Structures are given as structure tokens and as C-alpha cells.
Amino acid sequence: MILDKSLLKLSNPLRGLKRNGSVLINSNSPLDLNNRSYYVDATKIAINLKLVKSGWPLVNIVMLGALARVIGVISIKSLSRAVREEFDDKIAEQNVKAIELAYNSVKEVSRVIA
């Protein structure tokens, strides 16, 4: 999972990823990373829901929603329940909405094989 696509310019966050591994990236457009790749605009979701602290969009919970969809191991219901147990009402509901939006917005990058 790559929370900020600018990391791709600074280092190789894919180092150590297995050949058949999957990548989930916070991006507003598809990126072909030579692996099974998924993307979601977590920054936009966080900003739209006012999940911002000191000017920085809080994308971590958004990306968890997308990750739940990609790996299919944890249900959105379980993730939402955990958030509601951890946070107070308003903050919990903002985060649950972020999870749901990311879960429903994540897209797989289509690869064209020539």
C-alpha cells in the first residue's frame, strides 16, 4: 500500500514485492506498476469529508477501506464496527463514510498485453 504516489519518485516502495504481488496506491489516476495494481483517490475522499489535520489529508483510514476491498479478508462491516468502537460519534461516522467511499471507489488498473 502506497499512501502517497510521490514516494515513487523518492525511492522504490515496490522493492521486495513478490512478482505476483498486488499494489494499492493513493492516486487520482491509474499507474502501471508492472504488478497487479489498484488505485483510489484517498486524498480527494479525505478532503471532501474534512478529514484534514494541519492542512494534511488523513488518508490512512481511507486506504484501509480500499485495502479491505482489494484483499477481501476483512469485511467493511467489521472495519466500520472497529472504527465506531474506537472513536466518538462524529469522528467515527466521518471515518466510516471514508471507508465506505474508498471501498466502493477502488479500481483495478487494466493492463494491456501486446
Query: In this predicted model, what pLDDT tens digit does every residue of 48-74 receive, in sequence order?
Result: 999 999 999 999 999 999 999 999 899
Query: In this predicted model, what pLDDT tens digit does every residue of 71-101 receive, in sequence order?
Result: 989 999 999 999 999 999 999 999 999 999 9
Domain chopping of the chain, boundaries = 7-108
- Range picked from 9-13, 15-19, 82-86 for highest mean pLDDT: 82-86
8 to 11, 31, 33, 73, 112: CA distances (angstroms): 6, 11, 10, 27, 22
Is 7-108 a domain of CATH 3.40.190.10? no
- Specify the pLDDT at position 86: 95
106 to 12, 37, 98, 103, 114: CA distances (angstroms): 22, 10, 12, 6, 25
- Specify the pLDDT at position 114: 53
Average pLDDT over residues 18-37: 86
* The pLDDT of residue 5 is above 90: no
Following DSSP, what letter does each residue of the chain receive, concatenated? -BS-TTHHHHS-TTTT--TT-EEEEE-SS----SSEEEEE-HHHHHHHTT-EETTEE--HHHHHHHHHHHH-SS-HHHHHHHHHHHS-HHHHHHHHHHHHHHHHH-EEPP----
* The pLDDT of residue 35 is above 90: no
